Structure formats: structure tokens, C-alpha cells
């Protein structure tokens, strides 16, 4: 008597698991071969070239509606994909200092920033924001809403979409190998700094399987070529 | 002849008075404590410079502080980030201005600066020695050097140099040395002493 509902529940569960395991990526409408070249140029243009130092105020929105503000200093070199990141209190106390030069090296980390997982995640976020994806372009074109998109396969088998929503705004969307959205960066441009277009504001959203995990709002204070 | 000796006597007295004004309150812990006892309230602006060799140039913040003896402190950053640290009857709370509203800090930041803040209150009370957190010594040039007693805390702060002003009971600047090559320098200016400060200054406003 109870077998039928149990079977339905089991089927629903399996279906839900299958759906979550194989989420599909947003569809890209193809464009002509000439437009593909121009689109690739535009997508590459969102990442700063050369050596830079950025200072941001970082507003963190945490689960439960809690908020905090810290300062972030990022030093990047696009050519060798090296980055150094510092997090400090507004009073100037350094809470976290790590660099990535082929491998992660933590110079300083105090609680609650003293886990390897945090350092790894932060460096991944910095690489996502400042460096063009390493993997090949697997598709480019337009989304249904007209936004221009370049889709890259990542080394880990995931996907990164560079989405140019308007002249002053762009987005990065990071998907897992199962095509689940794991991170999103929304950028608003500041205009030119040393001939390059630098985002004035960045919103970094990280998603867990259960929903949004945290959000960081970065406001540019300073961008200096090094 | 008599005129000459009177002149030189006056000159000597002026020089002595000047010397007393310059060094008169920073020679011993007792003198420092006595001078601080005569200061009930301080209001000052400050400029903070964060130096690190990796920075193209130092990070500069500005703010102001209000202090009322014995343990009320308002430490407010105005630029580039608006934030507020309030110590009212010894209890420290931290706020940030987010979207125009003062929001209490979620506590991501460590307690290190809160300790420094509590220390500053102690210093303004003239209590540098007999400190459980720092070992203090009086250096030359009206400088006090504080070194953490606890090894774990020394991983956050190597030492603090407090430079005393000519005006009795007043701190001119503070330098906080962190491991590596990190240095935070605070300089106080527009200092006013012993004016009445309302209780509300040490409470959160809108």
C-alpha cells in the first residue's frame, strides 16, 4: 500500500539529483566569423594588462545579514599570472597576506582568515577577476537578452562566461564541471586608467549548492600601474 | 653691569622654563602619570599612514578622536572609509557606514586594534608601565617604546612607539610596527584639551 508513494518519492529524488547534476549552461546564439574576432577582442579587454596595484574597500555580506568592511590590496601581473593579495582592517592591521606565483604561498594569516581553503578560494577569486581564463574559447556569440558572451573551458573542466552586458558593465560567471553556477562577478567600469578600462565597482557572489554563500562588494580606491 | 646680569638672568629663566616645558613631564613614569591626571578630555584630528614596501605609496586615512577620562573614546575614520570605534565605559563597539547607515561590524576583524584602542585609553591616562600587554620603556626624545609581552601577540604587533608632545599629557604621534615591513603611523593635530564632551559623543548616532 505504501510502495507507490515511496516509488514516486524515489523517482522525484532521482530526477532532482539528475537535474542538479546536469544543469545546463545558458544558450549562446552564434554570430558571424568576423564578429567572433571583435567579440574576442572585447572580452579580452575586461582584464587589465601588465602590472597593477589595486586598493579596494571590501564590504562583505555574510549569512544571517551580518556585514563587515575591510581593505583589500591586490598586486597583479597579467603576463606571468602572478598575484599578491592583502586584507587589512580599516585601521591598517594586516589580517591576510598571500601570493600566487605558480603555487600559493601564505605570508601572513590571522583568524578568521587563517585557513588554507580561504587562501585558495581568495586566489581563485582574484584570478577570476583579473586574469583572462586560461582555457580555450568553446563558444562566443550573444545571449537571448543581447549581451555579448565569450565562453571558456577551464583547466578543471568547468566553464567561465565573460558577459558584456553594456559598454560600462560586464559579468563573469563561473560554472562547475557539472554546469552549476558557483561564482559571479559583476563589474561597473570606472573609465580609463593608464589607457585601460578599470572597474570602479565589483560585486563578487559565491554560490553554494544551497544558494548564495557570501557576497563581496569591492569599491575601487586606487589603481596604480607598477 | 647690573643691567647685563638682570638680562642674562631673565634669559636663563626663559630657557629653563622652555626646557621644563619641553622635557618637564616626560622624564619619568610618575611625571607622565601626573601630567595625564590633569587632562580630562581631548579632541583631535588624526592622519594615519600605512607604509609597506610593496605599496606604490602609503595608504592614507584621516579621522578624529574624542577622549574623556577615564575610559570613553570615540575613534572615527572619515576618509577613505567611514568607520567608527566607540568605547563607552570600557566597552568597545565597531561600526561601518554602509549605504549611508551605520552598521555594526560582523566581527570579521580581529581584536588586535581593539586592544590597541584600549591601550590608547590607558596611555591617555598616563598608564604606560605596569601594563599586562606591553613592556614599556622610556626612550630618548620623549618617546615611549612598547613591546608585547605575549609571543602570540607579537606575531601581530612587533612594537609601538609613542611620541609625547611638548604639551603635558598629550601624545603627538604613534607608530605601530608589524611583522614584515609594515608600519602604521598616526599623527595627531588640532588638539584641544579639557573641553567638555557630551556623553552622546561616545554613543552611536544615526
Q: What is the predicted pLDDT for the residue at A111?
A: 77
All cell numbers assigned to A124? 581563485
How many H helices and E strands in chain A?
3, 13
3-state secondary structure of A224: strand
Residues of chain B above pLDDT 90, percent: 47
Q: What is the predicted pLDDT for the residue at B188?
A: 96
| A16 pLDDT tier (thresholds 50, 70, 90) | low
d(C-alpha B39, C-alpha B193), whole Å: 7
Residues of chain B above pLDDT 70, percent: 84
Q: What is the mean pLDDT of residues B144-156?
A: 89
* Structural domains in chain B plus CATH codes: 28-202 (2.50.20.10)
| B6 pLDDT tier (thresholds 50, 70, 90) | low
Q: What is the predicted pLDDT for the residue at B20?
A: 44
Q: What is the predicted pLDDT for the residue at B19?
A: 46
Q: What is the predicted pLDDT for the residue at B111?
A: 62
- Average of per-residue pLDDT values in chain B: 84
Q: What is the mean pLDDT of residues A59-81?
A: 86
Per-residue pLDDT of A188-197, as tens digits, reads 987 777 778 8
Closest CB from A62, A86, A91 relative to B106:
A62
What is the residue-wise DSSP string for B106-167? Answer: -S-S-SHHHHHHHHHHHHHTT--SS-SSEEEEEETTTEEEEEESSHHHHTT-SEEEEEEPSS
Q: What is the predicted pLDDT for the residue at A163?
A: 97
Q: Do B106 and A110 touch (CB under 8 A)?
A: no
Chain B CB contacts of A92 under 8 Å are 48, 50, 59, 61, 176, 184
| A22 pLDDT tier (thresholds 50, 70, 90) | low
Closest CB from A67, A93, A95 relative to B103:
A67
Q: Do A108 and B103 touch (CB under 8 A)?
A: no
| B17 pLDDT tier (thresholds 50, 70, 90) | very low
Residues of chain A above pLDDT 70, percent: 88
- Average of per-residue pLDDT values in chain A: 86
**Complex confidence, ipTM:** 0.75
Q: What is the predicted pLDDT for the residue at B5?
A: 58
Phi-psi region of A18 (alpha: psi -120 to 50; beta: other; left: phi over 0): alpha
DSSP state of B185: E
Q: What is the predicted pLDDT for the residue at B115?
A: 72
- pLDDT of residue A203 exceeding 60, the answer is yes
3-state secondary structure of A112: coil
Q: How far is B88 from chain A (nearest CA, A)?
A: 19
Q: What is the mean pLDDT of residues B81-109?
A: 81
Q: What is the mean pLDDT of residues B24-48?
A: 93
- pLDDT of residue B87 exceeding 70, the answer is yes
- pLDDT of residue B98 exceeding 70, the answer is yes
C-alpha distances in Å from residue B87, one per residue of A93, A113, B42, B176, B199: 19, 26, 14, 20, 11
Q: Do A68 and B59 touch (CB under 8 A)?
A: no
Closest CB from B55, B80, B109 relative to A89:
B109
Q: What is the predicted pLDDT for the residue at B9?
A: 59
Q: What is the predicted pLDDT for the residue at A27?
A: 95
Q: What is the predicted pLDDT for the residue at B18?
A: 47
- pLDDT of residue A21 exceeding 60, the answer is no
pLDDT greater at residue A67 or residue A161: A161
Q: What is the mean pLDDT of residues A160-175?
A: 94
Chain A CB contacts of B48 under 8 Å are 91-92
User: Which residues are CB-neighbours of B148 under 8 A, at least 6 positions away?
Assistant: B133, B134, B135, B154, B156, B157, B158, B159
Indicate the length of chain A as a whole number: 226
CA neighbours closer than 13 Å in the CB half-sphere of residue A64: 5
| B112 pLDDT tier (thresholds 50, 70, 90) | low
d(C-alpha B51, C-alpha B58), whole Å: 5
Q: What is the predicted pLDDT for the residue at A11?
A: 59
Interface of B with A (CB under 8 A): 48, 50, 52, 54-57, 59, 61, 77, 80-81, 83, 85, 96, 98, 103, 105-110, 112-113, 116, 155-156, 176, 178-180, 182, 184
| B21 pLDDT tier (thresholds 50, 70, 90) | very low
When mean pLDDT is compared across A40-44, A83-87, A117-121, B173-177, the lowest value belongs to A117-121
Q: How far is B113 from chain A (nearest CA, A)?
A: 7
- pLDDT of residue B79 exceeding 80, the answer is yes
Q: How far is B42 from chain A (nearest CA, A)?
A: 20
Amino acid at each position: 500500500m505504501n510502495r507507490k508513494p515511496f516509488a514516486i518519492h524515489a523517482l522525484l529524488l532521482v530526477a532532482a539529483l539528475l537535474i542538479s547534476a546536469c544543469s545546463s549552461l545558458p544558450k549562446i546564439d552564434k554570430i558571424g566569423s568576423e564578429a567572433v574576432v571583435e567579440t574576442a577582442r572585447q572580452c579580452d579587454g575586461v582584464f587589465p594588462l601588465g602590472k597593477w596595484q589595486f586598493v579596494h574597500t571590501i564590504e562583505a555580506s555574510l549569512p544571517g545579514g551580518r556585514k563587515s568592511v575591510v581593505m583589500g590590496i591586490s598586486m597583479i601581473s597579467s603576463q606571468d599570472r602572478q598575484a599578491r593579495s592583502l586584507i587589512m582592517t580599516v585601521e591598517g592591521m594586516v589580517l591576510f597576506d598571500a601570493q600566487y606565483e605558480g603555487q600559493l604561498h601564505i605570508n601572513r594569516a590571522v583568524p578568521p582568515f587563517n585557513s588554507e581553503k580561504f587562501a585558495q578560494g581568495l586566489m581563485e577569486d582574484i584570478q577570476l577577476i583579473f586574469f583572462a581564463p586560461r582555457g580555450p574559447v568553446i563558444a562566443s556569440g550573444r545571449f537571448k537578452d543581447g549581451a555579448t558572451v565569450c565562453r571558456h573551458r577551464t583547466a578543471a573542466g568547468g566553464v567561465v562566461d565573460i558577459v558584456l552586458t553594456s559598454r560600462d558593465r560586464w559579468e563573469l560567471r563561473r560554472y562547475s564541471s557539472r554546469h552549476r553556477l558557483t561564482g559571479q562577478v559583476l563589474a561597473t567600469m570606472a573609465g580609463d586608467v593608464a589607457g585601460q578600462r578599470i572597474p570602479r565597482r565589483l560585486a563578487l557572489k559565491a554560490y553554494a549548492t544551497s544558494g548564495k554563500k557570501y557576497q563581496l562588494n569591492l569599491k575601487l580606491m586606487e589603481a596604480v600601474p607598477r | 653691569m647690573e643691567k647685563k646680569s638682570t638680562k642674562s638672568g631673565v634669559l636663563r629663566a626663559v630657557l629653563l622654563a622652555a626646557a621644563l616645558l619641553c622635557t618637564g613631564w616626560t622624564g619619568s613614569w610618575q611625571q607622565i602619570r601626573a601630567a595625564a591626571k590633569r587632562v580630562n578630555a581631548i579632541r583631535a584630528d588624526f592622519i594615519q599612514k600605512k607604509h609597506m614596501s610593496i605599496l606604490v605609496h602609503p595608504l592614507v586615512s584621516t579621522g578624529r578622536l574624542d577622549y574623556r577620562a577615564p575610559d570613553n573614546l570615540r575613534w572615527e575614520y572619515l576618509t577613505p572609509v567611514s568607520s567608527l570605534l566607540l568605547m563607552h565605559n570600557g566597552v568597545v563597539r565597531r561600526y561601518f557606514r554602509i549605504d549611508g547607515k551605520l552598521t555594526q561590524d560582523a566581527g570579521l576583524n580581529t581584536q588586535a586594534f581593539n586592544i590597541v584602542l584600549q591601550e590608547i585609553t590607558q596611555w591617555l591616562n598616563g598608564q604606560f608601565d605596569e601594563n599586562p600587554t606591553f613592556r614599556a620603556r622610556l626612550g630618548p626624545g620623549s618617546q615611549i617604546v612598547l613591546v608585547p609581552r605575549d609571543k602570540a601577540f607579537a606575531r601581530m604587533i612587533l612594537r609601538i612607539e609613542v611620541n609625547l608632545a611638548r604639551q603635558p599629557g598629550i601624545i603627538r604621534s604613534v607608530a605601530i610596527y608589524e611583522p614584515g615591513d609594515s608600519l602604521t603611523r598616526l599623527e595627531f593635530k588640532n588638539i584641544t584639551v579639557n573641553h567638555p564632551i557630551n556623553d552622546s559623543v561616545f554613543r552611536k548616532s544615526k
